[in-house]
Structure 1
Amino acid sequence: MSDPTRTSQSTRYATDPAGAAARTPAAAVAPTIRRPLAAAFRALVAAAALTGLLLAALGSPAPAQLLTHFTVQANLALALVSAGSAHRAWAGRRPVSPWITGALLSFLALPALIHHALPAADATAFVLPDTGLPTTARALSHHLLVTVTPLAALADWLLFTAPRGFRLSHAWQWPAYPLLYLAFTLALPTAAGAPPPTAATGLTLALASFLLSLITIGIDQVRPSPRLRKNRISPTGISPLK
């Protein structure tokens, strides 16, 4: 395979404009393609996650204890990655690795699935604890962290991310942290700040983490590509435009 950053012997000593263009690496002539719409959306995603975390901390008698909950950890990671991804999209830099974005998507989907489809596991440390009487701020925080941010991460993946970036090896890499967290809640329920899940619930959570990863990878392989701007600068040809 040819290396676009290297030049052949026939063009190395050329002095005419065509030879100079052939000697120029593709990275030096590729334009910076900014994506302001993706940047704005990801900034809103980061703001939603941070708002939910702040409201949860304000409504909790022990804010530091919230860091032991899986939903809080996943949303905190989402806020950091979305902020960095928004900056990259605005500056026209390389996007965040699909390994990171896919892992975050599966992490956020797990507590959302627990809350909406597995009520038996809703009292575990995978979701936010019930700290008392329901208030508007607490209800809004819960809604943001287990519904809005997972849907926003899903929309970011479908609308602003190129498909077929996930690999089959991710199917066993992404569930590694949820399984470690599940083992932590079973071994140290007091440190987790929530009752440990039952054996049936733990098995369901472990199976769900694997299935979510496989489903995400499968959808990524067949979904259509979003309408992303493409670089029309030729990487190897002498002519600047195709």
Structure 2
Amino acid sequence: MSDPTRTSQSTRHATGPAGAAARTPAAAVAPMIRRPLAATFRALITAAALTGLLLAAGGVAAPAALLTRFTVQANLVAALVFACSAHRAWTGRRALSPRLTGALLPFLFLPALLHYAFPAADSTAFALPHATAPTVTQALSHQLLYALTPLAALADWLLLTAPRGFRPACAWQWPAYPLLYLAFTFAFPSAAGAPSPGAALALTIGLAGCLLPLIVIGIDQVRPAPRLRRNRISPKGIGPLK
């Protein structure tokens, strides 16, 4: 298959306007397609993540200390990435790298999985500060950060992105930060703001951090492509060339 960004030997030494046009990569003249629906949905994900973070910060005495929590870090990065993705979809620019957007899925689902499946993990630095009797504000922030934002990111991936965009190298790149963060909680529990997890819980967190990227990459290889808007050489109804 030919590479559209490369020029042939016959056009490489051409001069004048014709030569300049021949040496122009196809990607440089491809029309920009705006995706307002995707942009709106990603802006709503950004708003949900930021709202959850603000509600969580309002319910603690030292909001800056939340920056050491894995849940807060994952949702803060998700808000930044989805804001950038929304801007690119609205202006028709090239989408962000799947290596970056795909990493958000295991990052968001790891604390959500621990929160709902392993209640003991709520006392670790992977979760928000644990409260025996959470207020309405704290309960709402939990729903936004542990449920709504991860599920919305999952829907964006399945419905608004093309499949088979992840590379096998992501299987070892994505778990790197969760494993480093887990080691950080063992080495500096006071800096993490929570006690270190027990051996069994730490093993569970490590396995979940390694398996979630593999699950995401495996699903990406077999899932069907969504009905995305595609480029057309000529508008519908103009001529036989489509």
> Which fold has the larger relative contact order, with Cα–Cα distance below 8 Å and residues 6 or more apart in sequence?
1
What is residue 136 of structure 1 aligned with on the other side? 136
CA distance change for structure 1 residues 67 and 7 in 2, over 3 Å: closer, same or farther? Answer: same
Please list, as runs of the form range in 1=range in 2, the aligned pairs for 1:153-172 lying within 5 A after superposition: 153-172=153-172
Structure 1 residue 101 displacement after superposition: 1.1
Please list, as runs of the form range in 1=range in 2, the aligned pairs for 1:1-242 lying within 5 A after superposition: 2-5=2-5, 6=7, 9=10, 12=14, 25-131=25-131, 133-233=133-233, 242=242
Residue type of the partner of 1:66?
L
Structure 1 residue 63 displacement after superposition: 0.3
Unaligned runs of 5+ in 1: none
Residue type of the partner of 2:181?
Y
Structure 1 residue 120 displacement after superposition: 2.3
Distance in 1, Cα, partners of 2:17 & 2:202: 69
Conservation of the 8 A alpha-carbon contact between 1:30 and 1:233? no
Structure 1 residue 31 displacement after superposition: 1.4
The number of residues matched between the two structures is: 236
Conservation of the 8 A alpha-carbon contact between 2:75 and 2:145? yes
Conservation of the 8 A alpha-carbon contact between 2:122 and 2:130? no
Unaligned runs of 5+ in 2: none
Residue type of the partner of 1:97?
S
CA distance change for structure 1 residues 28 and 218 in 2, over 3 Å: closer, same or farther? Answer: closer
Structure 1 residue 4 displacement after superposition: 3.4
Q: Give the secondary-structure state (helix, strand or coil) at the position aligned to 1:122.
A: helix
Q: Give the secondary-structure state (helix, strand or coil) at the position aligned to 2:229.
A: coil
Conservation of the 8 A alpha-carbon contact between 2:11 and 2:23? no
Q: Aligned-pair RMSD on alpha carbons?
A: 2.7
Conservation of the 8 A alpha-carbon contact between 1:61 and 1:131? no
What percent of counterpart residues are identical?
Answer: 71
CA distance change for structure 1 residues 166 and 3 in 2, over 3 Å: closer, same or farther? Answer: closer
| TM-score computed with the length of structure 2 as normaliser | 0.89
